[in-house]
Amino acid sequence: MRRWSRAAPVPLGQPQGAELLAIQSWKDGRIQTAYNVTSPAFDAKTRTISATYKARAAGDCGTIQEMKWTGWHFRLLNVWSKDRCDGEPFEWDSREKWQVFPRRGHEPNSKESTSGHDDASLAAFRDHGADLLVATGGIIDPDWVLSALAERQLRRVLCEGGPSVHRDLLAAGRLDELSLTLAPSAVGGVGHRSTAGDALPERADFDLTFLLLGEDQTVFTSYRRRR
């Protein structure tokens, strides 16, 4: 897949520690780790890869997969698979009826929420398979949330915001990895920091573990908390 499938996360000054970039892939009915994909296309705006495998030249059977960049690997989002080579075209525009992953209700999906929301607004999330954790008092406590997720066997958590939650996780010492993306564009105006609220009890320092340069010059980085 050119530079994207074989890109190596290389710690600065330690090229001997290079590793292949991991990609979640669908094989034999389950998610497995792969290091290359077939006929890929990369969307820089959504940071997703679509990979198409055709079982024969007629193009009437095979597998289509979508993976999204998380900051350290490509996570599998969707899989469509057509086993029967029966002459019916299997293309991107007609893929939906052959979706095999995820199946509705089969994908773990937890969301934290503070109390005060009406039942109707919460029901919309539950109808889409979300397992809601409702905090009381209007405050989300990081230790409580992580303990509740651990009870559900969800021990690796990706937090995408907002700035106040990022600050609380840092203050509680519960943030291990930090992924930052630098886009080669300037928009001006008043921006927000990646954290919001009171200053941290102590400075949080990180070590750069790897960086990835996209074809559109976007820089993807990952840092690990220095202990």
> In this predicted model, what pLDDT tens digit does every residue of 15-37 receive, in sequence order?
766 666 778 888 888 778 788 88
On whether the CB atoms of residues 61 and 82 are closer than 8 A, the answer is yes
Residue 72's pLDDT band (boundaries 50, 70, 90)? low
| φ, ψ at 70 (rounded to 5°) | -105, -10
Which amino acid type is present at position 175? L
Q: What is the DSSP string of the chain?
A: -TTTTS-----TT-GGG--PPPEEEEETTEEEEES--SSEEEETTTTEEEEEEESSTT-SSEEEEEEEE-SSSEEEEEEEEE---SS----GGG-GGGEEESPTT-S--EEEEETT--HHHHHHHHHTT-EEEEESTT---HHHHHHHHHHTT--S------HHHHHHHHHTT---EEEEEE-S----S----S--SSPPSS---EEEEEEEE-TTS-EEEEEEE--
Answer yes or no: is pLDDT of 205 > 90: yes
> In this model, does residue 118 exceed pLDDT 80?
no
Residue 143 has a CB neighbour count (10 Å cut-off) of 11
Give the mean pLDDT of 209-213.
92
Query: Given this model, what pLDDT does residue 5 score?
Result: 35
**Which residue is it, tokens 């490509």?**
74
Q: Per-residue confidence at 105, pLDDT binned at 50, 70, 90?
A: very low
Residue-wise pLDDT for 171-191, tens only, equals 889 899 999 999 999 888 877
What is the C-alpha to C-alpha distance for residues 81 and 67, in angstroms, rounded to an integer?
15
